Amino acid sequence: MDILISGASVAGPALALWLNRYGHRTTIVERAPALREGGYSVDFRGDAHMSVLRKMGVLPDIERAQTHMGSMWNVNEAGKKLVAMPADLFAGDVEILRGDLARILHDATSSHTEYVFGDSIASIAQDADGVTVTFERGPERRFDLVVGADGLHSTVRALAFGPEREHTSYLGLYCAVFTTDNYLGLDYTGHAYSTPGKMVSLYSARRNTEAKAVFWFGSPPLDYDRHDLDRQRELLAEAYEGVGWEAPELLRRMRHAEDFYFDSISQVRLDSWSRGRVVLVGDAACCASPLSGMGTGLAVVSAYVLAGELAAAGGDHRAAFAAYEREVRGYAAGCQESAVGVSKWMVPESRLMAWFMNQNYKLLPYLPWKGLMAKSVRKTASAISLKDYGVTRPAGPAPRRRPSDRAS
């Protein structure tokens, strides 16, 4: 089949890798002009995540690029270390910068997948034999299936399932991330400073050669253009006006950061993940939010199941999409559930709560429930039995056709 995937982050390339192995032809359209390298780290944990990465053949590359971060520190306004948050409290089996992961998945698929950057699907029209797709820039084309792997604000979902507001729920926080110099000289560690409803942190990255600034703030829903990065920079600066520690310096650096990323912390819930020949995967289908620590693992597991069920159903997309949902829906619901309530302790709304959390971190090494949190996250991440869909060898050479060959 000719399969179009919208979104070149994690879910899209992970799905393309499997579809290529099953002999399908894949095209990925990505709105950004090039691969997006931004974001902070993401974790994989437990048997389900790790076994899929192993089968994909990308685990050695991911392990080579892992962050190796140690304990993080909560600091006061003067930068004095208050309490260490032990690395094993949150860490998965392997942690990697999201941008490094996206690069690895892109490189693992680029010889068999046609990548089209700087474009977006504009319309989708299905009939009995296929889907006619128009693009904002490129010529109209025809595909057998269309997959939305275009994230929380999925265009495919909006076109095939209706407006975003009907399918997303906002969890009360915004997050911003960008890369800057490791000007505090952090050594495989991070420093975080909190004031009520806000947390700003700086983490060393890529073997201490650079650093990631990460901002969180609680807010009612904000009305802004998601493609207007200058407005998003203003919103962050407004939210952090008067906040101490390194916040003013980081806001100054934010103005020049090329990979500035800003988004709401939200979840996606849909009654169904497919409409005819259109199907969703990753955050577009079931975003659990970064608070779950599960979104990236969920994306690669879902991609594995979706491609596997398509193969198992011999290309009968109706049967395959129904089976894909049966396999993944309960698992995704568990991942989403794990994010509920996390914002209250991660970004405390009052000084009292922040003090309480610091005492908790201080005492944690001596408390009997040490490790319970990590165990519970691992349990959620492993709560799916994956079928063996029977493909073990990498895809053979697939001729790539020029866009003009396929324009209908």
- Candidates 92, 138, 151, 334: give the one binding ligand FAD (CB under 6 A): 151
Give the integer Cα–Cα distance in Å for 315 and 43.
32
Applying CB under 6 A, does 290 fall inside the site for ligand FAD? yes
In the complex, the smallest distance separating the C-beta of residue 292 from ligand FAD, rounded to whole angstroms, is: 8
Collapsing DSSP to helix, strand or coil, 234 comes out as helix
Size of the site for ligand FAD (CB under 6 A): 32
Give the integer Cα–Cα distance in Å for 134 and 62.
35
Q: Which stretch binds ligand FAD (CB under 6 A): 144-152, 317-325, 366-374, 382-390?
A: 144-152
- Candidates 15, 39, 273, 321: give the one binding ligand FAD (CB under 6 A): 39
* 132 or 358: CB nearest ligand FAD: 132
Applying CB under 6 A, does 8 fall inside the site for ligand FAD? yes
Applying CB under 6 A, does 177 fall inside the site for ligand FAD? yes
DSSP for residue 118? S
Using CA atoms, how far residue 145 sits from 3, 19, 31, 53, 279, in Å, is 5, 12, 19, 25, 8
What are the backbone angles phi and psi of residue 54, rounded to the nearest 5°?
-60, -50
In the complex, the smallest distance separating the C-beta of residue 25 from ligand FAD, rounded to whole angstroms, is: 18
Of 301, 266, 272, 304, whose CA–CA distance to 285 is shortest?
A: 272
In this structure, the number of other CB atoms found within 10 A of the CB of residue 74 comes to 21
In the complex, the smallest distance separating the C-beta of residue 277 from ligand FAD, rounded to whole angstroms, is: 18
Applying CB under 6 A, does 98 fall inside the site for ligand FAD? yes
Give the integer Cα–Cα distance in Å for 180 and 214.
11
* 8 or 236: CB nearest ligand FAD: 8
* 197 or 295: CB nearest ligand FAD: 295
Residues 6 or more apart whose CB falls under 8 angstroms from that of 195 comprise 243, 244
DSSP for residue 139? P
Applying CB under 6 A, does 91 fall inside the site for ligand FAD? no
In the complex, the smallest distance separating the C-beta of residue 355 from ligand FAD, rounded to whole angstroms, is: 27
Contact by Cβ (8 Å): 150, 5? no
- Candidates 180, 274, 296, 343: give the one binding ligand FAD (CB under 6 A): 296
Containing 43, the helix (H) or strand (E) segment is strand 41-44
- Candidates 32, 83, 322, 353: give the one binding ligand FAD (CB under 6 A): 32
Give the integer Cα–Cα distance in Å for 114 and 399.
10
Applying CB under 6 A, does 95 fall inside the site for ligand FAD? no
From residue 255 to residue 274, what is the string marking binding to ligand FAD with x (rule CB under 6 A)? ------x-------------
Applying CB under 6 A, does 305 fall inside the site for ligand FAD? no
Of 314, 224, 320, 311, whose CA–CA distance to 281 is shortest?
A: 320
Applying CB under 6 A, does 380 fall inside the site for ligand FAD? no
Containing 109, the helix (H) or strand (E) segment is helix 98-109
Applying CB under 6 A, does 100 fall inside the site for ligand FAD? no
Give the integer Cα–Cα distance in Å for 76 and 74.
7
Applying CB under 6 A, does 46 fall inside the site for ligand FAD? no
| Binding stretches for ligand FAD (CB under 6 A) | 6-12, 29-32, 36, 38-40, 42, 98, 120, 149-152, 155, 177, 261, 282-284, 290, 295-296, 299
